[in-house]
Structure 1
């Protein structure tokens, strides 16, 4: 299970220029790359993710549970 607090701390790495690391942690690789190379969509996407972080974490956890059940 992914943690909201860990996602938030990874989100804070944008202060040091590492935008999108929280998306890699949650399993959203393609958008993580997009955020990383565009500095979080010029900061706008990074700011939006601050408010969506709890929902993104919940969605990631639900997808993992569904993957486990399908095997």
Structure 2
């Protein structure tokens, strides 16, 4: 289980997903920068991440599921 929490990641994805906020939070810096440059993949990438986080399928940089 990751030391990163589910709720902050979800809120960051909703409010700062276009800037990769949730990906910076879980340590995925490379893809976070890509989201920042592409405005969250024109919104599509952010929506996919929000669904993945809500379903509990989003992993941190060490491929561990987020803590509840």
Give the Å deviation of 1:14.
3.4
Does the aligned pair in 1 maintain the 2:20–2:33 contact within 8 Å?
Answer: yes
Question: Could you say which residue in structure 2 is the equivalent of 1:34?
Answer: 34
Structure richer in helix, relative to its length: 1
Query: Hey, which bits of structure 1, 4+ residues long, moved more than 3 A?
Result: none
Q: How far, CA to CA, are the matches of 2:16 and 2:7 in structure 1?
A: 15
Give the Å deviation of 1:52.
1.1
When the two chains are superposed, the root-mean-square deviation of aligned CA atoms in Å is: 2.2
Does the aligned pair in 2 maintain the 1:13–1:19 contact within 8 Å?
Answer: no
1:1-71 matched pairs, under 5 angstroms: 1-14=3-16, 18-53=18-53, 54-56=56-58, 59-60=59-60, 63=62
Q: 1:42 to 1:64 in 2, by over 3 A?
A: closer
Q: What is the CA deviation profile of residues 8-53 of structure 1, one whole-angstrom value per residue up to 9, with x for unaligned ones? A: 11112238xx521100001110100000111100000001001112
Question: Of the two structures, which has the highest relative contact order with CA contacts closer than 8 Å and spacing of 6 or more?
Answer: 2
In the comparison of the two structures, how many residue pairs are matched?
A: 60
